[in-house]
Amino acid sequence: MVLDGRLCYGGDYNPEQWPAEVWKQDVELMRQARVTLVTVGVFAWSRLEPAPGRYTFDWLDQVLDLLHAGGIRVALATPTASPPPWFSLAHPDALPVTADGVRLHHGSRDTYCAAAPAYRAAARRITGLLAERYADHPALALWHVHNEYGTTCHCHHAEAGFRRWLRDRYRDLDALNDAWTTSFWSQHHSDWAQVSTPRATQYLPNPGQVLDFRRYWSDELLAAYVEQRNLLRAATPGVPVTTNYVLGDWVPVDHARWAAEVDLVAIDHYPSDAGPAAEEQIALAADLARGWARHGARHHARATDGDLPGARGSWLLMESAPNLIYTPGRMHTREPGRMARHSLAYVARGSRGAMFFQWRAPRGGAELFHSALVPHAGPDSRIFREAVELGGMLDRLAEVDAGVVEAPVAIAWDAASGWALQQRALPSDRIHHHTEVAVAHRALRRAGYACDPVLPGDPLTGYALLVLPALYLADDDTAAWVRDHVHGGGHVVIGYLSGVADEHARIRLGGYPGAYRDVLGVRVEEFHLLADGEEVPLTGGGTGRFWAETVRVAGAEPVDAYAAGVLAGQPAVTRHRYGDGVAWYVSTRPDEGTYQRLLDEAARAAGASPTCPDAPPGVEAVRRRSPEASWLFLLNHTASAQRVPTAGIDLLTGAVVEDAVTLPAGGVAVVRERAGA
Ligand code: GAL
């Protein structure tokens, strides 16, 4: 446990932005809100080392002592996401360079190249000092390395690192030339010195080079993290170490791979919408975090030490916004009540608590209007009152930390497939792996199924159904993973653009989807791209969008067909018995209702059932279960009261639930279910 039996509640605390008088008031307010954990020091480097080698830890000593006296634990951060101005001046070669060759300057945060030796050395130095000084501090509960690894660089350090990484992967240049298909457009390399990072270039870049650069850069950032983690682990073997993941398609980090190196997966999550779309985004982000945690735990160095929380799918929401959410053009308000309901939605899906950015709204600086638990208005405010209320709720929910989220469906997620489908000159720039995962996840969620994201190769025992949404890349092992699963009796739904390319983003020939033709009993000859807004009717009554294909059946039975256009009469959805299992193929993006019904049918046929079949539409139901108990989270996202049949004790109110709970509009219940429920 991170916090000895309590859920994590709090957020980024930046005392360096305030005079010491405010610190005491902060601790008082934290106690009032039942805060259990705060992240300290994330961007404090210039306050800890104002000049090279001159250290001023005294203020941090005082802050940690004050927090400890107030019973609040600390996630102590290394400040390496924001080197001080003196560092950049002394080491201009450590400033980042864009793909256009522009060197960025100090003035924001993250102005460093993670591959620059001077930066890495400085980061190790300040981390080592923090580790040494605070190893025995009683407030220390968790190490928080850096902040949101996610910057990229094309400087000569990055280029040298890329070449080293490529030599390691390919050994000789011929293998690299082959993987990158450099026979196309005269790109054959005859010396390693010719190999560069994918900088701005005249026309379309080489897809293999772009993909490998993203893989390399994720590994380079990971190496920077691991250096710090090792120093911290050596100083405090018993204190877990993490870093907060930033989510987004632009992020050059393979979070699943990183999960084996953190002791607790932690994500920051800022939905791009304040309303119902936020609820879908929250569910997906939370499920991804859980999937990464489980995947990571299997490969973790401490995997043999017994029960790692990650193996149970535990992770932590490290940052979220209490109120205003940044959306393009203007910020959006989180309506009253949403902060609690949304926070509990993460906890329902495995988070060990709810943390926010940030504790107290700053009076200046780049993010001066970002929402905070103590807003500019001060504690006499709706937001702070909601913060106090949320603290009380989390206090009553501590026992759910023992529960594992029940999910009968697995959904494949793969960073590299996402990166490969971001390349230019693909048949459609509307189709991305992550979007397709989100669409399938939404359909499953609406049909009432919880699902666990899995990575190719992960064990599939216990999952009734596996869904592959545009899992574009498939090496031979991935193809065998799916084949063996279905042959052995598993059920799978495979979406278009899955298994089309190999691990180097080269097409698997002979008809799409090369990796899964045999399992699916189909052979796709051609793609037919639909215009934005265009729909093709399906004979089953729904429509297809964005994408359609010429599907030739080779053993599969058609389940739905195109009803008009060039594909009229040809299969759109097929089903194939393969070995003891069943493989569905979906060659278009069905409209939401059709997709939901299709996945529901596939899941039921595979033996799965929704979490709470009687939950009315708009009420999200998620169950966590331990060997001793089960907890049903019910989140009413609608504007009216809803009744859900269940029995047990509502932990939030303490009320005994005889046969049904009535949730007020926007309300939440967490029912410890009566045994046998
Ligand atoms: C996060 C970041 C925080 C803050 C926040 C604003 O991505 O870690 O430092 O910038 O976004 O939403």
Residue 376 has pLDDT above 70, yes or no: yes
DSSP 403: P
Instruction: Name the β-bridge partners of 360.
Output: 374
Average pLDDT over residues 596-611: 98
The answer to whether the beta carbons of residues 228 and 145 sit under 8 Å apart is yes
Residue 3 has pLDDT above 90, yes or no: no
Q: How far is CA 312 from CA 122, 290, 401, 570, in A?
A: 36, 8, 10, 44
* N-term to C-term CA, the chain: 28
Counting from 1 in the atom list of ligand 1, the atom nearest the Cα of 147 is 8
Is 8 annotated as ligand-binding?
no
Strands 409-412 and 465-468: parallel
Q: What is the pLDDT of residue 52?
A: 97
Q: Whole-angstrom Cα distance, residue 557 to residue 574?
A: 5
Residue 560 has pLDDT above 60, yes or no: yes
Q: How far is CA 334 from CA 35, 241, 369, 386, in A?
A: 21, 31, 14, 11
* Ligand 1: residue whose CA is nearest its atom 1: 268
Q: Whole-angstrom Cα distance, residue 88 to residue 343?
A: 38
Give the up-direction half-sphere exposure of residue 274: CA atoms within 13 A in the CB hemisphere.
18
Is 153 annotated as ligand-binding?
yes
* Active-site annotation holds for 148: yes
Q: Whole-angstrom Cα distance, residue 310 to residue 295?
A: 8
Query: Hey, how many other C-beta atoms are within 10 angstroms of the C-beta on 86?
Result: 15
Q: What is the pLDDT of residue 273?
A: 86
* Ligand 1: residue whose CA is nearest its atom 4: 357
Q: What is the pLDDT of residue 676?
A: 65
Q: What is the pLDDT of residue 325?
A: 83
Query: Hey, how many other C-beta atoms are within 10 angstroms of the C-beta on 296?
Result: 26
- Ligand 1 pocket test: pick from 243, 367, 371 the residue with the most ligand atoms within 8 Å of its Cβ: 367
Q: Whole-angstrom Cα distance, residue 153 to residue 440?
A: 34
Counting from 1 in the atom list of ligand 1, the atom nearest the Cα of 246 is 7
Q: How far is the CA of 282 from the centre of ligand 1 (A)?
A: 17
The string of DSSP codes covering 420-489 is: HTTSSSSS-SS--HHHHHHHHHHHHHHTT--EEEE-TT---TT-SEEEESS--B--HHHHHHHHHHHHTT
Check 159, 280, 319, 620 and give the catalytic one: 319
Residue 324 has pLDDT above 80, yes or no: yes
482 φ, ψ to 5°? -70, -45
Q: Residue 611 — pLDDT band, cuts 50, 70, 90?
A: very high
C-alpha closest to that of 356 among 376, 374, 335, 368: 374
pLDDT single digits (tens) 392-410: 999 999 999 999 999 999 9
Is 47 annotated as ligand-binding?
no
Q: What is the pLDDT of residue 547?
A: 97
Q: How far is the CA of 357 from the centre of ligand 1 (A)?
A: 7
* Ligand 1: residue whose CA is nearest its atom 5: 357
* The model's pTM: 0.97
Q: What is the pLDDT of residue 276?
A: 87
Q: How far is the CA of 630 from the centre of ligand 1 (A)?
A: 34
Q: How far is the CA of 183 from the centre of ligand 1 (A)?
A: 43
* 156-170 and 207-235 helices, crossing angle to 10°: 100
Average pLDDT of the chain to the nearest whole number: 96
Q: How far is the CA of 584 from the centre of ligand 1 (A)?
A: 41
Place of tokens 């008088």: 21
Report the CATH fold assignment for 619-673: Immunoglobulin-like (2.60.40)
Q: What is the pLDDT of residue 327?
A: 76
pLDDT single digits (tens) 76-131: 999 999 999 999 999 999 999 999 999 999 999 999 999 999 999 999 999 999 99
Average pLDDT over residues 57-84: 98
Q: What is the pLDDT of residue 307?
A: 62
Check 148, 159, 261, 279 and give the catalytic one: 148
- Residues of the chain within CATH 2.60.40.1180 domain(s) are 619-673
Share of the chain above pLDDT 90, in %: 93
Q: Residue 207 — pLDDT band, cuts 50, 70, 90?
A: very high
- Residues of the chain within CATH 3.40.50.880 domain(s) are 409-605
* 592-605 and 433-446 helices, crossing angle to 10°: 70
Q: Is 552 exposed, middle or buried (0-12, 13-18, 19+ CB in 10 A)?
A: middle
Q: What is the pLDDT of residue 299?
A: 85
pLDDT single digits (tens) 481-519: 999 999 999 999 999 999 999 999 999 999 999 999 999
What is the sign, positive or negative, of the torsion defined by CA atoms of 246, 250, 253, 259? positive
pLDDT single digits (tens) 13-41: 999 999 999 999 999 999 999 999 999 99
Residue 174 has pLDDT above 90, yes or no: yes
Counting from 1 in the atom list of ligand 1, the atom nearest the Cα of 42 is 9
pLDDT single digits (tens) 455-488: 999 999 999 999 999 999 999 999 999 999 999 9
pLDDT single digits (tens) 419-455: 999 998 899 999 999 999 999 999 999 999 999 999 9
Q: Residue 205 — pLDDT band, cuts 50, 70, 90?
A: very high
Q: What is the pLDDT of residue 309?
A: 73
Q: How far is the CA of 397 from the centre of ligand 1 (A)?
A: 27
The answer to whether the beta carbons of residues 91 and 113 sit under 8 Å apart is no
Query: Helix (H, G, I), strand (E, B), or coil: what is residue 47?
Result: helix
Q: Whole-angstrom Cα distance, residue 143 to residue 345?
A: 25
pLDDT single digits (tens) 226-279: 999 999 999 999 999 999 999 998 999 999 999 999 999 999 999 998 888 999
- Ligand 1 pocket test: pick from 38, 110, 319 the residue with the most ligand atoms within 8 Å of its Cβ: 319
Average pLDDT over residues 518-538: 97
Residues with CB under 6 A from ligand 1: 147-148, 246, 268, 270, 319, 357, 367, 370
Query: Hey, how many other C-beta atoms are within 10 angstroms of the C-beta on 539?
Result: 17
* Ligand 1: residue whose CA is nearest its atom 3: 357
Average pLDDT over residues 134-148: 98
Place of tokens 């971001």: 422
* Active-site annotation holds for 227: no
C-alpha closest to that of 560 among 581, 585, 528: 585
Average pLDDT over residues 520-529: 97
Q: What is the pLDDT of residue 301?
A: 74
What radius of gyration, in Å, describes the C-alpha atoms of the chain?
26
Report the CATH fold assignment for 409-605: Rossmann fold (3.40.50)
